[in-house]
Structure formats: C-alpha cells, structure tokens
Amino acid sequence: MKHTPILAFLFIIFTNTYAWKYFHNGRVKGGNLGSPNKNNPIKEPQNFTRWFTQNLDHFDVGNATTWQQRYYVNEDFSQKDNRSVAFLMIGGEGEATDVWMTAGQWVEYAKQFKAIIFQVEHRFYGKSRPTPDLSVENLKFLTSEQALADLAIFISAMNEEYNLATDVKWIAFGGSYPGSLAAWLRLKYPHLVHGSVSTSGPLLAVPDFQDYYQVVADDLRVVSEECYTAVKAAFAQVDVLLQGKDGQKTLNTLFQLCDPIEDNVENENDISNFYSSLAENFAGIAQYNKDNRLSTKGTLLENITLDTVCSIITNISTEKEINRLADFNSLMLVATHEECLDYKYSKMISEMKNESWEATASEGGRQWFFQTCNEFGFYQTSDRKPQIFSDKFPLQFEIQQCTDIFGDKFNGNYLDYATKRTNTLYGALEIEVSNVVFVHGSVDPWHALGITISDNKNAPAIFIKGTAHCANMYPPSDTDLPQLESARVEIGKLIQSWLDT
Ligand SMILES: *[C@@H]1O[C@H](CO)[C@@H](O)[C@H](O)[C@H]1NC(C)=O
Ligand SMILES: *[C@@H]1O[C@H](CO)[C@@H](O)[C@H](O)[C@H]1NC(C)=O
Ligand SMILES: *[C@@H]1O[C@H](CO)[C@@H](O)[C@H](O)[C@H]1NC(C)=O
Ligand SMILES: *[C@@H]1O[C@H](CO)[C@@H](O)[C@H](O)[C@H]1NC(C)=O
Ligand SMILES: *[C@@H]1O[C@H](CO)[C@@H](O)[C@H](O)[C@H]1NC(C)=O
Ligand SMILES: *[C@@H]1O[C@H](CO)[C@@H](O)[C@H](O)[C@H]1NC(C)=O
C-alpha cells in the first residue's frame, strides 16, 4: 500500500521504516550501524530498552489508568557519580529505534557534555500502546498535549530513578514533529527542561499547507529551470490524456496503474489520489534530498536525489515530458518495491479505517493522520498558484479523508477550529521561549511552517542553505556542505552556553 493519505506525514527520522508511506516495503530491519565485521571483535549489542509506567490521561487526576511506555537509555557517556546533564530525544509519529542510542549528532554532543541520554517513544506509536486498539474513542488520548505531559512526568521520574544531580540540566532534541514538541516542551515545562534543539519543526498549524509544493517546485528550479518547466508540461500532458478513452489506456501502461483508470475517471477521489501520488514522488525526494539519513543506507532510494530526478525529467532522448515523468514513476515503484501504482481511494480509506494494532496502518499512518485531522492540518495540497503538480488535490480532498476515516465530526469547520486552537495553545510562530534553537534546511518544504529567522538571541534560528529535512541530526558525512558542518558546531556552542547558565 503505497499511497495512503499521509501527504502530511512528516517524517520519522526515528524509524528504520522512514516515511512509512513511501518506503513501506523497503524497510531495513534492525538498523545498520556499527554492525560487526570480521576485522572487529563482535561486541554483544547492548539492550537499551526500558519500560515506564505512564498515565493514560494527564488531565484527569482521578483516573488511575496506566500503560507501559517504551524508552531507551544509554549511560555510557555519563559519569555515574556526577550526572549533571541529561539528554532527551523525543520520539515522533512512528516506531522508535535504538539506532539513535549510539549514533547521530546528539551522541557527539552527549560525549562532549558527558550526558546520560534517553529516548522516549511517543504514545500510540511503535510499542507504546496506551489502549487495546486505535478506535476513534481511544485516539482522543493521542494529542501533543498528552505527549508533552508524558515527557514531563518521565523527566521527573528519571531524575530519581537514575540518581541524576539535584541541579541536573535536561536538553531536549527532536526532528520534524518532535522538533515542534522539543520547542513546546521547553515552553510548557521550563522548570524541567533547560534547553531544546528544535530541528525542522513546523510550529504553525494550518489546514492548507499549500506552500509545501511551492518549496518543492523551487527545489526543482534550483536544479534547473528546464526541470521545473518539464514537470509542469508533463502534468499538463497527463490532464490531456485523461480526457479521452485512448489517452486513459495510455496512462494505464505508462504509469503502471493497478486498476484501469478508464473505469474510475468519474470518481473524483480516485483522480485526486492519482495526481497526488505522482506529486508525492517529487515531495519525497525533495524533503530528504541527500540527507544522509540512516534508514535508506544502501538502498536504491539513497541514490535518488533531486539531481537524479531532474536528469530523468529533462532527458531529451525521450521526446515527451510525460514519458519522462513515467520513467521517474517507474523508478520510484522499483525503489519502494511496489508492483503497480495504487490510486484507489476506497482501498486506502478502508485500510486506514482499520483500528487494529496488527494492521499496516497502525505503523503510524492512522495515528498521524488522526493528529493532522485533530490538531495540525498540514495538508500538502495543490491549491497554490502557479500550479505545477496539477490542481487536482485541493484541501477539500484531504478533509474528505478525515471525515471518511474518522467520522462526520472531523469536517472542515472542525479542522479550522482545531488548528486555531493548536496555534493558541503553543503560540505558533510567535512562541516565546528561551534556550531554544530552531534549525531548518532550505530544501526541506517544512521550513515554510517553522521559524527560520529570529532576532531573539535567547531563541535563535539557524537556516541551512541547501539541506533537507533534519539533516543536522544525522551522522556527519564526507559530502556534507560546509554550512551544515558549521550549523552542527553552532548548535554545540549554544548547548554549551545554556549549560553554563
Ligand atoms: C531488553 O530489556 C527490556 C527491559 O528490561 C526487556 O523487556 C527486553 O526483553 C530486553 N530485550 C532483549 C532482546 O533482551
Ligand atoms: C479512566 O479512563 C478510561 C478510559 O476513558 C475509562 O475506561 C475508565 O473508566 C476511567 N476510570 C475512571 C476511574 O474514571
Ligand atoms: C560534574 O560535571 C559537570 C559537567 O561535566 C562539571 O561542570 C562539574 O564540575 C562536575 N562536578 C563534579 C563534582 O565533578
Ligand atoms: C548508489 O550509488 C553508489 C555510488 O554511485 C553505488 O556504489 C551504489 O551501488 C548505489 N546503490 C544502489 C542500491 O544502487
Ligand atoms: C536518457 O535516456 C536515454 C534513452 O532512454 C538513456 O539511454 C540515457 O541513459 C538517459 N540519460 C540520462 C542522463 O538519464
Ligand atoms: C485489520 O487488519 C488486521 C491485520 O491485518 C486484519 O486481520 C483485520 O481483518 C482487519 N480488519 C478489518 C475490519 O479490515
């Protein structure tokens, strides 16, 4: 199931599955860092996993219902008799992985500051399952406010359990949605969290995130104007082919559609889904362009960059732009291990309606989509002009999915109210915090909803030209841009300055 309605899926830098939606079948199990080889003695892998008894409802004191929340801890970088610095990696909208307990830039900071490091899996994702299933009734306990309260209770319990210094300073880290949580945690619980590195976090909740595809289009233009023009032309050619029976048959073959499109042209949702699938291919590449993430190491996806895409899209050996678009689509199907392009709306909805922890949608798709309908919006629509990836997946198409999956209550009015509420609770782009750094990459479309400029020296912004989603969190690589390297150094200096005060 490639095309789920997770247009808004942010991104799961914490899972090996990465963007469940795109790479659903292309998963790397168990991580691939530090795997022993013949030259290195085999070291028994450490078990970092622990469980924490957490409250179900932090806002109903009388309710004693609890559940087991998964977390990881690594004490190796700290001194047992002097634990004055603790790091918290905030889990997000997917299963957590212990790969991060020994890798990533935060581990370098942990060595530098002798920090004990914790990672907490977000409620309702991975193995952190507060309720027996994912019914709408139970999902009312899945909110960012509950998740932040989980972290607050967790921190205060760990201070005792691990014998942390009485004046221990906690620094929170998070990328993507957890980047937002990192900032909000410092906002709501400043007495518990001393500072936060908030990476690629969208802080403004919006129903219609139409700027997303604007940034993707800009990314293509940075590669070449020809690339941008050719993509636009290709989508226009798709429009034309959809008009007649012969054209429709051509589309079936060109784009390897699972179901013949001529049977479904009257179904507006199917057509929207088809177009948004084609657009998402570009989004997925742009968002993660050359980011050196752990989850796609050694896979074909690692090698597909904006440059690759544009070299296909502008390859004049293939006469028509639409054929080049089809070549790119075929490559993405191979890379994501899909046999055909599945655009059937009804199939997607029925999979997303499944409330079982055993269902594929429970890997995060259903839960995160609920959070978008209930708190954030973030829908990556085709509403922005000039339209390059068609105009066929408007906001209404996304709202329709909220309603179809979670019920009539989740309509457009609800979404307007819900996103306004979120912005009021956290302050959106007007958030007032200290000891927080906001980090974004210019290639990453999510920067459009975050803080990229700040004149508050207590809450600075670092905007890295040319990098993608969460790039500063991954382990350094030889090909890193100098501005990425200096961003990592700057973040380290900020942490130092917070710890000094
Ligand atoms: C790791 O430790 C946790 C908590 O003690 C335990 O539940 C789990 O079974 C252990 N995992 C392995 C693979 O030993
Ligand atoms: C606590 O909340 C759960 C879930 O809503 C509910 O089933 C249970 O009855 C509540 N318990 C109390 C004591 O209110
Ligand atoms: C404990 O560690 C902190 C930070 O590493 C250091 O500043 C402090 O001097 C240490 N205290 C003792 C008693 O070693
Ligand atoms: C990715 O590209 C590198 C360098 O060109 C190559 O060595 C590697 O085999 C490629 N990986 C895959 C999975 O295609
Ligand atoms: C362009 O397309 C031709 C014909 O399909 C192919 O042989 C060539 O490798 C392509 N070039 C690039 C840069 O993809
Ligand atoms: C939900 O998914 C599970 C696991 O794949 C499956 O066994 C079950 O039949 C599905 N339920 C519905 C209502 O489709």
Q: Quick check: is 111 in a domain?
A: yes
**CATH number, domain with residue 178:** 3.40.50.1820
Smallest CA separation from ligand 4 atom 2, residue: 303
Q: Quick check: is 374 in a domain?
A: no
Exposed e or buried b for every residue in 202-231, given b needs 16+ CB within 10 A?
A: bbbbbbbbbbbbbbbbebbbebeeebbbbb
What tens digit of pLDDT does each residue of 397-446 get?
999 999 999 999 999 999 999 999 999 999 999 999 999 999 999 999 99
Mean pLDDT of 365-372: 97
Does the C-beta of 63 come closer than 6 Å to ligand 6? no
Q: Quick check: is 270 in a domain?
A: no
Smallest CA separation from ligand 4 atom 12, residue: 300
Write down the pLDDT at residue 42: 53
Q: Give 416 Cα–ligand 2 centroid separation in angstroms.
A: 29
pLDDT tops 80 at residue 1? no
Residue 454 known to be catalytic: no
Does the C-beta of 354 come closer than 6 Å to ligand 6? yes
Q: Quick check: is 259 in a domain?
A: no
Q: Give 50 Cα–ligand 1 centroid separation in angstroms.
A: 7
- Of the listed ranges 37-46, 113-122, 183-192, 327-336, the one predicted with least confidence: 37-46
What does the block give as tokens for 398?
Answer: 């996304």
Mean pLDDT of 221-241: 97
7 CB-near residues (< 8 Å, 6+ apart): 276, 280, 283, 379, 380, 393, 398
Mean pLDDT of 265-273: 97
Mean pLDDT of 227-238: 98
- 3 state DSSP class of 345: helix
pLDDT tops 50 at residue 117? yes
Count, residues in the chain:
501
Which ligand is in closest contact with the Cα of 79? 3
Residue 330 known to be catalytic: no
Mean pLDDT of 298-313: 91
Q: How far is CA 352 from CA 135, 349, 365, in A?
A: 11, 5, 7
Which residue type, as a one-letter code, is found at position 347? K
Question: What's the CA dihedral at 350, 352, 355, 359 to 10 degrees?
Answer: 100
Smallest CA separation from ligand 5 atom 6, residue: 317
Q: Give 328 Cα–ligand 5 centroid separation in angstroms.
A: 12
Q: Quick check: is 84 in a domain?
A: yes
Does the C-beta of 50 come closer than 6 Å to ligand 1? yes
Which residue type, as a one-letter code, is found at position 226? E
- DSSP summary character for residue 207: E
Q: What is the percentage of the chain residues whose pLDDT exceeds 70?
A: 91
Q: What are phi and psi of 175, to 5 degrees?
A: -125, 140
Write down the pLDDT at residue 297: 77
What does the block give as tokens for 444?
Answer: 């990453």
Nearest atom within ligand 6 for CA of residue 355: 1
Does the C-beta of 66 come closer than 6 Å to ligand 2? no
Smallest CA separation from ligand 3 atom 11, residue: 82
Does the C-beta of 135 come closer than 6 Å to ligand 2? no
User: Residues 44-47: contacts with CB within 8 Å, 24+ apart?
Assistant: 46/74, 46/101
Q: How far is CA 435 from CA 40, 91, 104, 421, 441, in A?
A: 41, 20, 21, 25, 20
Q: Give 476 Cα–ligand 4 centroid separation in angstroms.
A: 19
Residue 442 known to be catalytic: no
What tens digit of pLDDT does each residue of 145-186 get?
999 999 999 999 999 999 999 999 999 999 999 999 999 999
Q: Which one is catalytic: 176, 180, 200, 276?
A: 176
**In which residue are the tokens 């990425």 written?**
484
Mean pLDDT of 294-319: 90
Distance CA 496, CA 312 (A): 46
Q: Give 62 Cα–ligand 2 centroid separation in angstroms.
A: 9
Distance CA 394, CA 101 (A): 40
Distance CA 289, CA 406 (A): 33
Q: Give 47 Cα–ligand 1 centroid separation in angstroms.
A: 6
Which residue type, as a one-letter code, is found at position 59? F
CA 280, 378, 490: angle at the middle one, nearest 5? 90
Q: How far is CA 184 from CA 174, 188, 273, 432, in A?
A: 11, 6, 34, 10
pLDDT tops 50 at residue 28? no
Write down the pLDDT at residue 44: 72
Q: Which of 253, 296, 259 is nearest to 274 (CA)?
A: 259
Write down the pLDDT at residue 24: 27
> Cβ atoms within 10 A of the Cβ of 298, count?
9
Which ligand is in closest contact with the Cα of 49? 1
CA 17, 352, 365: angle at the middle one, nearest 5? 30
> Cβ atoms within 10 A of the Cβ of 318, count?
15
Taking the CA of residue 487 as centre, how many other CA atoms within 13 Å lie in the half-sphere pointing to its CB?
29
Strands 116-120 and 66-74, sheet pairing = antiparallel
Distance CA 312, CA 303 (A): 13
Write down the pLDDT at residue 172: 98
Write down the pLDDT at residue 291: 79
Q: Which one is catalytic: 211, 219, 444, 480?
A: 444
Smallest CA separation from ligand 4 atom 9, residue: 298
**Can you say whether the dihedral through the CA atoms of 176, 178, 180, 183 is positive or negative?**
negative
Burial class (CB in 10 A: 0-12, 13-18, 19+), 412: middle
Smallest CA separation from ligand 5 atom 13, residue: 311
Write down the pLDDT at residue 292: 72
Write down the pLDDT at residue 61: 92
- Backbone Cα Rg of the chain: 22
Q: Give 315 Cα–ligand 5 centroid separation in angstroms.
A: 6
Q: Give 95 Cα–ligand 6 centroid separation in angstroms.
A: 20
- Of the listed ranges 22-31, 422-431, 471-480, the one predicted with least confidence: 22-31
Write down the pLDDT at residue 43: 62
Nearest atom within ligand 2 for CA of residue 57: 2
Nearest atom within ligand 3 for CA of residue 113: 5
Which ligand is in closest contact with the Cα of 139? 2
Q: Quick check: is 324 in a domain?
A: no
pLDDT tops 70 at residue 4? no
Distance CA 370, CA 401 (A): 10
Mean pLDDT of 387-395: 96
Q: 477, 489 in Cβ contact below 8 A?
A: no
pLDDT tops 50 at residue 2? no
Does the C-beta of 56 come closer than 6 Å to ligand 6? no
Average pLDDT, the chain: 91
Does the C-beta of 499 come closer than 6 Å to ligand 3? no
Smallest CA separation from ligand 1 atom 8, residue: 49
Question: Which residues sit opposite 187 in a β-bridge?
Answer: none
Q: Give 143 Cα–ligand 4 centroid separation in angstroms.
A: 40
Structural domains of the chain, count: 1
- 3 state DSSP class of 149: helix
pLDDT tops 60 at residue 249? yes
Q: How far is CA 333 from CA 97, 206, 328, in A?
A: 26, 31, 9
Distance CA 38, CA 233 (A): 52
Q: Quick check: is 22 in a domain?
A: no
- Domain range for 443: 49-205+429-499
The preferred substitution site among 55, 60, 65, 143 for testing ligand 2, maximizing ligand atoms within 8 Å of CB, is 65
Q: Quick check: is 318 in a domain?
A: no
Q: 445, 165 in Cβ contact below 8 A?
A: no
